[in-house]
Amino acid sequence: MKHPYQLSHRELGTSLTAADLRRLLPQIITAEPVLNDCWMVDDAGRTLAIHGLDLHGSIHFIHYTWEGKLYLTIEFRQGDQAKVMRIIEELAISGDGEKELSLWPRAEKIPVRATCGVASFLQELRKDPFKDHLIVTGSAIESARECTWEGDDLLLEDLYLLTEIPALLKNGGWNAAMHQTRIEQLCRVWPEPKVISFRGRKLALSRRMYIPHPEFDNVLCLHFTYDVASGKHVIGYVEEGGK
């Protein structure tokens, strides 16, 4: 049985634009009795979410384009699934003059680098290609839901480097020299680390991965450590701040 606070998501293809979502969601919140205690948060066009006193957690809407097609990822708590399905139903039957707005289940697999949102990205990392090298905890995904930072390619590049550090240090050469500064940053042990509960024990996240956004004035920070028992890096907490 799924826990009501378990993070879940729906992947949809759509003809809805981001502007359509911003126009329709407030109307649905007002019209639907089950959503009357909810409100929408639109952070300068970068984050679209529904918050509510009766929700198990915020409902996030991630709208993006991949290979010329529009897609929508909805992240929510399992306990709010009925409300999310009601929202989807209302979006699917909405119309705007001659243009019919529709949603349909996404059939094809979107590569991990094409997803939007740090939490969704980290969820994908639990699968290939990093599952043999990284452990992404629930606390990491939970904290990442509060981040507006976008730049999956940058994050993917640094995570790949993290998994390659042992080989680079062992073999040396031009490749290791080129990444020396970044390797030193990723291997640095920070004082007063965040501590999480991990597999029945306390785990100090003594290392950090800082990734500045190339366009916006914010920096993503992943708190992690190397866990000797599992032989993998454990990402346990994510946050963002100003440069």
Q: Can you give the pTM of this predicted structure? A: 0.58
- Is 85 in the same domain as 147? no
Per-residue pLDDT of the chain (243 residues; tens, 9 = 90+): 567 877 777 877 788 888 888 889 999 999 999 998 999 988 655 568 899 988 988 888 888 777 777 778 888 888 898 999 889 888 876 544 333 445 555 444 444 434 457 887 887 777 666 778 889 998 898 888 878 777 777 888 888 888 888 877 777 766 667 778 888 999 999 999 999 999 889 999 999 999 987 766 778 999 999 999 999 999 999 998 865
Decide which of 63, 92, 110 is a domain's last residue: 110
2 found inside a domain: no
Say if CB 238 and CB 217 are below 8 A apart: no
Decide which of 48, 77, 110 is a domain's last residue: 110
CATH of the domain at 84: 3.30.310
Q: What pLDDT score was predicted for residue 148?
A: 74
- Is 73 in the same domain as 143? no
- Is 133 in the same domain as 214? yes
- Count of the separate structural domains present in the chain: 2
80 found inside a domain: yes
- Is 155 in the same domain as 99? no
- Is 235 in the same domain as 130? yes
Domain span at residue 40 reads: 7-110
- Is 82 in the same domain as 137? no
Decide which of 71, 93, 110 is a domain's last residue: 110
- Is 43 in the same domain as 136? no
Q: What pLDDT score was predicted for residue 168?
A: 78
Q: What pLDDT score was predicted for residue 109?
A: 44
Q: What pLDDT score was predicted for residue 106?
A: 45
- Is 84 in the same domain as 127? no
- Is 95 in the same domain as 124? no
Q: What pLDDT score was predicted for residue 94?
A: 57
- Is 185 in the same domain as 202? yes
124 found inside a domain: yes
- Is 134 in the same domain as 104? no
90 found inside a domain: yes
